[in-house]
Structure 1
Amino acid sequence: MRYLSATYDVRNASADGATASPAARSNLTFVAVDASAPATISGTAVSNFKRFDGSAADASLAPKIVPTVGMTLTNGVPSVNASQADLQALSSSEVTALGVPSGARDVFQYGFVVRNKSGTGRTLPANPGPSQFDGLITFAVKLPLQANAANDPYSFSLVFEVYADSANRVTRVSEETVAAAQSRAAALGATLVDADTICTVRTASTNTLYGLGVSLTAPGGRDVCFGSGSGQVLTAVTPLQDVIRAMVLQPDGKIVVTGTSNQGTGPTAPNNNTDVAVARYLPDGTLDATFGTGGTFSTPVGAGASVDTPQAIVRQPDGKFVIAGSTTNAGGTTGTDMFLIRLLPNGGLDSSFGTAGKVVINAGTAAINNFAFGLDQQSDGKLIIVGYTMEGTAATGYDIVLGRYSKDGAPDATFGSNGLVLTSITTNGPSGDRAQDLQVLPDDTIIVVGTTTPAGTTGDTNGNDTVLLKYRANGTLDTSFGGNGTGYSVTPIGPNRDASGVQTASNDIANALVVQPDGSTVVVGGSNNLGTTTGQDISVVKFTAAGVLDTTFGSGGKVFVPMVAGSVLDVANAVQRQPDGKLVVSGTSQNTGSSTGQDFALLRLNVNGTLDTTFAGTGKELLAVGAGTASDLASALVIQPNGRIVLGGQSLEATNNTNFALVRVQP
């Protein structure tokens, strides 16, 4: 974005400036209008929209011009200029009361207030002299920049109607701290307008500036601007079990989620006949009625009463969505296959992808069960999918499977064998090697994280370790990674002795990763046997760009977080990095007061791995979605452009059915 502002002198006089006003005027507000004369781009207050060369600018950019306040650039960081901070947001009822003036199609919910040049008030005196300009007004906007600077909007006009506001108020913008806004309000004798009053600002009947309203809720608190004031949204796709498993953000701030929707016989058969379900929400948590049917879409993948389980979703540059997961009964009556499906931008299967919108993948010649968990895109749009496959029988265990497909769903014959690469780290069965997540780096190399059962053990209960792998763009392991010439590192996370010193083996779970700008990788999951024989804590582990533990993070590269004392089960399922380098981690925690209930778990870590105590007071918190001992499980996490944190998962209703669940908190 580029910040622009223009300041004008204001005289208390008639519209043509000829006749001085005989009365003082306070809180004169220039309210933006969609005008027919002079013509503005419909749905905006913008007219005369031009590029630098004088040609017409792209009209679709006009609604993306966001009103703000005058800013000052200090060491490359924009900050609010208190003497130019006079943006005013208005409620819908106030705008309705104004009415639509002659020559206007609509009146918007924002404007700019005139202040006295003294800087201490917003009243202009009566009867000014012919050259007496007592007021100043600053018009300020954020302008979206384009990949090609020649396409940037260079000049434009804004059209306003002027009225005297009966209220003296200050509206805080996202770049401004609460304390600074309160100080500014005090200097002007104004009331601070917060998100409890205005959460979103309508700029047209089809345009809403969701990022303009600012919540005064403390970091970690539920955002009252989400979910009609509750900070959460529950969605029933079907009357049975609906579970969010993955989320992705659109550039316009809309939230797209995917998960399972039960088409079966109800709570007695929760895994019977599940379909892929997708929902799209507006930035404030309202279902987007332009997507699917009323905001949701569902489709089967496998034949008959198959169990279809999506685990990951990406948005392609053209706005289409690709979903990866696993399905039963896709190619027969037994076994599980991986799948990719593609949806059109507004929902519905894209028939140009694979076969009728679907690609079913049986990895290996003798594969019985195949599971997909991670999905990402290379720079050329090719799709990378990761998971694991069982070869032959359960006794031989699982191998990691990595696949590459064209952006339209065709296997890439230049990658492995018919687009698939299998990696075996241990020959132990029945657990073996299981990949859970991946990220494609800018050079198209691939980082994969998962779990392996180390040599000498016989299953999950006897210990699992975290495995981190790096593949070259052609699918071969990068042997410079991992510190041992293999292309991967196997790392025990929890201690291998209990509190009394008895030899044991921790059960380490790796569920998600994020690669940081310096090439280091943060892996989150859970680990047990942390000095006790019961319980499991959230684990956050950092590896260097070379694939070895980063000893500058936490204790020897590891951080363990129990959500509350005595928790039975804490596990992290998602991680995101904030622009300031802090790590946001979400997952699930077993309720201490119930043997069946769980809550969403959320925590934020500083760059060095310590808990960020500015967040929720302690750096961590539990978020109950359903009432009482409901089972609330968080599986996914996104951070919106305004920094707000959205968790996605499921909440168990009192009727023993589950709904899609979203919760948003302040950063």
Structure 2
Amino acid sequence: MSLKVSILIISQFLFIFKVLLAQLYPLDSTFGVNGHTIADITSNKDFVQNHIAMQSDGKIVIATSSLTYFNGTEYNYDFCIIRYNTDGTIDNSFGEAGIVITDLGSPNDIPLDIVTDFYDRIVVAGTSTIPGSWNSIVVRYNPDGSLDSDFGNNGIVTENLSIMDIFYSIELQPDGKILAGGIGNFKGSLYRFLTDGSLDSSFGDSGKTSLQFGEVTGIRDIAYTDDGYIIVAGNIGGAINDGFVAKLNPDGSLNISFASNGKYIVNYGSNEFINAVGCQSDGKIILAGTIGYESPSIPMFGDFLLTRLLPNGIPDLTFNNSGVVTIKFGVGYSINECCSVSINANNDIFAVGYTDNLQLTNSRIALAKLTANGSLDFTYGSNGKVISEFGSSKEKGMGSLLDYNDKLVVSGIYGANINPILARYETVLINSAIIHSAAKPGIMLFHNPDDLTIHGKLTGLTDGKYEYKIHRVSGDIFSEGCISLQNGTFSIEVKSYISGIYILSVFGPHEVLSKSFIRI
């Protein structure tokens, strides 16, 4: 065999190996170091945290906790916010060298969720302890990382219903109001705050509402629908654990037309835990978490659990032909927990979490891609699944989002000190090769409900003129015209609009981009 032929065969083999490796392990090598980045922050808190959000310029912010020891054995946990550039490097223009640490005055200040608002301010929810009590906390930061003095008490809002109050989730409404949910007095607690941090008296009982579907009820995640309803999901504790999802009206009352008197209980005869909820573009609801099994001979083990409901709360039997999907990583008995779910414009579903052995000594970030019908996407990873290993025995995926380039960014924990880790994954594999998809068109609105003008941003479209229509929630067209897109931004005057919820639709060359807003 000639040298040229040998080299050609070797080159072809290396190319095929590289393509196969890309299929099995679709990390985005342009992000951080070989697709991931690890921050030198000690947390030591091993639970579902390190959640993630994105600002309008594509920068990523995560919320974690920072551990400091003093006097030898005493310790202090503080809120810690880290901002990353789009290439995975830490953004040194934010806070101090890219990091903001906030001491709320207790030894246990633990952030559990994070969002960004229309002005790129950062809103973080969690808990803070004082002796004998846990308080629910919301903190708002300016885009540069400083505390926002226009919110609450110098940027901080504290709520307390009982000895244990925790905000696990936070969400923004289109009008800028803030929804924060968790547990208080052993019930699922949901608060709504005005943009200044005060309670919204038009919501529930003086700004808050409680849900109790069992001995202990806790809200773990919140979603907001395009037609103005609130979806909350979480868990019910007792002799056996079940998940739940509930639909609330804009005033905080249960929407009794949803499922059974406003709620759907996730009970498949085992222990079900719901960590995340997401809404598809067609209004269907995705629930994600874990289903746990028990056996006399082995400890509890579990699989990823995903359930899809129709907008009215009835199980969607077109989803995996049953309404339910369970996913196991590896072989034999193991622990597989889904902590986050992200849904793209095609209603493909990315379930993110971790897999571990029964001894809890070898956890790995795990993710799965499902098609819109609930089946695993066999063109992605290894038959629709990816397990990532970065060099330690403790690595877990906790939060996720899809960025403007439709890449999946996963936040989580790494190593014995529970360092924050970010990893970015390609989401589309075609003909056994990774395709860097172009930015998909998207729309954002920057609007307070008493503003006379809507300001918006379109991504993925060139500057020029585009037709738009504004509908009422009922479907009636209220207004239509043409916007002029300049540097990706536009504005529409709404001073003549009556109070209500509206949906703006902008007609691009190949797509319709829609977003809801509120006028008061």
- Identical-residue share of aligned pairs (%): 28
Show the 5 A alignment for 1:326-365: 326-327=183-184, 330=185, 336-363=186-213
Report the Cα offset of residue 462 of structure 1.
3.7
Higher relative CO (Cα under 8 Å, sequence separation at least 6) belongs to 2
Distance 2:182 2:390 in 1: 30
Distance 1:604 1:459 in 2: 39
* 1:450-474 residue CA offsets vs partner (Å, 9 max, x unmatched): 11024x6369934201111110011
* 1:466-497 residue CA offsets vs partner (Å, 9 max, x unmatched): 11111001100000102xx321112212322x
Show the 5 A alignment for 1:131-530: 219-228=87-96, 230-262=97-129, 264-265=130-131, 272-300=132-160, 302-303=161-162, 306-327=163-184, 330=185, 336-363=186-213, 367-390=214-237, 393-394=238-239, 397-425=240-268, 427-428=269-270, 432-454=271-293, 457=295, 461-482=299-320, 485-496=321-332, 505-529=333-357
Q: Is 1:543 equivalent to 2:370 in the alignment?
A: yes
Distance 2:230 2:118 in 1: 20
The 8 Å contact of residues 590 and 598 in structure 1, kept in 2 or not, is answered as yes
Match for 1:603 among 409, 415, 423?
Answer: 423
Distance 2:394 2:117 in 1: 33
Distance 2:122 2:276 in 1: 21
Structure 1 residues 288 and 216, CA gap change in structure 2 (3 angstroms): closer
Distance 2:388 2:348 in 1: 21
Largest Rg, 1 or 2: 1
Distance 2:84 2:343 in 1: 31
Distance 2:202 2:104 in 1: 26
Structure 2 regions of 5+ residues with no counterpart?
Answer: 1-56, 59-82, 437-456, 460-520
Distance 2:330 2:315 in 1: 26
Query: CA-atom RMSD, angstroms?
Result: 2.9
1:600 partner amino acid: P
Report the Cα offset of residue 543 of structure 1.
0.9
Distance 1:440 1:460 in 2: 36
Distance 1:539 1:239 in 2: 34
Secondary structure at the aligned position of 1:234 is classed as strand
The 8 Å contact of residues 287 and 294 in structure 1, kept in 2 or not, is answered as yes
Report the Cα offset of residue 369 of structure 1.
1.7
Q: Is 1:579 equivalent to 2:399 in the alignment?
A: no
1:452 partner amino acid: I
- 2:415 aligned residue: 590
Distance 1:399 1:216 in 2: 37
- 1:111 aligned residue: none
Report the Cα offset of residue 313 of structure 1.
1.1
Moved more, 459-468 or 289-298: 459-468
> 1 or 2, which has the higher strand percentage?
2
Count residues in correspondence: 357
Secondary structure at the aligned position of 1:227 is classed as coil
> Which portions of structure 1, spanning 4 or more consecutive aligned residues, are displaced by more than 3 angstroms?
215-218, 456-462, 608-612
Distance 2:189 2:220 in 1: 10
Report the Cα offset of residue 227 of structure 1.
0.7
- 2:451 aligned residue: none
Report the Cα offset of residue 539 of structure 1.
0.6
The 8 Å contact of residues 373 and 387 in structure 1, kept in 2 or not, is answered as yes
- 2:23 aligned residue: none
* 1:65-120 residue CA offsets vs partner (Å, 9 max, x unmatched): xxxxxxxxxxxxxxxxxxxxxxxxxxxxxxxxxxxxxxxxxxxxxxxxxxxxxxxx
1:419 partner amino acid: G
1:444 partner amino acid: G
The 8 Å contact of residues 337 and 370 in structure 1, kept in 2 or not, is answered as yes
Report the Cα offset of residue 226 of structure 1.
0.5
Report the Cα offset of residue 611 of structure 1.
13
Structure 1 regions of 5+ residues with no counterpart?
Answer: 1-173, 176-214, 266-271, 331-335, 497-504, 592-596, 615-639, 643-667
Report the Cα offset of residue 585 of structure 1.
0.4
- 1:563 aligned residue: 390
Report the Cα offset of residue 533 of structure 1.
8.2
Secondary structure at the aligned position of 2:215 is classed as strand
Distance 1:296 1:524 in 2: 31
Distance 1:459 1:388 in 2: 26
Distance 2:398 2:202 in 1: 33
